[in-house]
């Protein structure tokens, strides 16, 4: 038989499967992974309705309607607290896009001041008569804290940072205008036409805030909202008091 036709007997090798071939995670590591997965599932469950702005806004409306008999100032505080909770829950799933810079801050403030000043000049008495009534406070310092330092941050974080990001500019502006009606329903019986004007006006301002958010980020829209609220809601009574002191 030719040599190349002979079978070549090769030694058999036995491969033993050891723990090194199939590593097993330590118990502590498995437990940590399990906890992380449970937290992720919980965040997805609790934040899913916030990721749908229509559902979260419906919840806000439901709370607003069921609290109509509360004191107006207390009711507003409750509704703003709901907005804060919604923003925090949303931030658990998606980070808010602030795009902070001093330039964006100045841009937003300048746009807000330029847009609001004509309204202040030609309708100063209107805003003087309605500002404190809408917010349920007569103290100028409390009005300043609410209208300038609290409301713009909360509303822009929710309506621009959440609603507009998920649904678009127009939808966010419309819901923003409807939210103003929801806030001020308890005083609507006294001056419904004023409430309607405020709702439509705020929806239009919502388009402006939304444009700034798209162009320059959340910082610019907040700054613009701050400037508008200061000029239209705080400056009229402030100017009145300054005038009274100088008289």
The model's pLDDT over 23-45, given as tens digits with 9 standing for 90+, comes to 555 666 656 666 555 555 545 55
pLDDT top residue among 36 and 204: 204
Chain position carrying tokens 């713009």: 152
**Average pLDDT value for the chain:** 83
**125-145 pLDDT tens trace:** 888 877 877 887 788 888 999
Average pLDDT over residues 15-20: 51
Q: Identify the sign of the CA torsion 188, 194, 198, 200.
A: positive
Nearest CA to 222 out of 172, 155, 165 is that of 155
- pLDDT score for 48: 58
Stated as kind and residue range, the H or E segment containing 34 is helix 27-51
Stated as kind and residue range, the H or E segment containing 246 is helix 235-246
Whether 228 shows a pLDDT value over 70: the answer reads yes
CB environment 204-240: b (16+ within 10 A), e (fewer): ebbbbbbbbbeebbbbbbbbbbbbbbbbbbbbbbeee
Asked which of 88-92, 112-116, 230-234 is least confident by mean pLDDT, the reply is 88-92
pTM for the full predicted model: 0.79
Average pLDDT over residues 141-169: 94
Average pLDDT over residues 103-125: 94
């Amino acid at each position: 038989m030719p040599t190349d036709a002979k079978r070549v007997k090769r030694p058999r090798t036995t491969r033993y499967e050891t723990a090194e071939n199939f590593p097993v995670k330590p118990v502590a590591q498995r437990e940590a992974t399990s906890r992380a997965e449970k937290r992720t599932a919980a965040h997805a469950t609790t934040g899913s309705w916030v990721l749908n702005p229509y559902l979260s806004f419906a919840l806000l409306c439901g709370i607003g309607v069921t609290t109509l008999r509360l004191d107006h100032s207390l009711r507003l505080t409750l509704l703003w607290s709901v907005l804060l909770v919604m923003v925090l829950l949303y931030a658990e799933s998606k980070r808010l896009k602030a795009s902070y810079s001093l330039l964006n801050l100045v841009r937003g403030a300048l746009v807000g001041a330029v847009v609001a000043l004509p309204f202040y000049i030609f309708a100063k008495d209107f805003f003087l008569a309605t500002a404190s009534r809408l917010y349920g406070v007569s103290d100028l310092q409390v009005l300043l804290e609410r209208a300038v330092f609290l409301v713009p941050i909360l509303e822009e974080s929710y309506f621009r940072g959440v609603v507009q990001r998920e649904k678009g500019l127009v939808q966010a502006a419309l819901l923003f205008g409807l939210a103003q009606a929801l806030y001020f329903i308890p005083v609507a019986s006294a001056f419904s036409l004023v409430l309607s004007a405020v709702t439509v006006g705020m929806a239009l301002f919502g388009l402006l805030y939304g444009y700034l958010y798209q162009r320059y980020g959340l910082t610019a829209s907040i700054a613009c909202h701050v400037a508008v609220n200061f000029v239209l809601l705080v400056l009229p009574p402030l100017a009145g008091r300054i005038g009274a002191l100088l008289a």
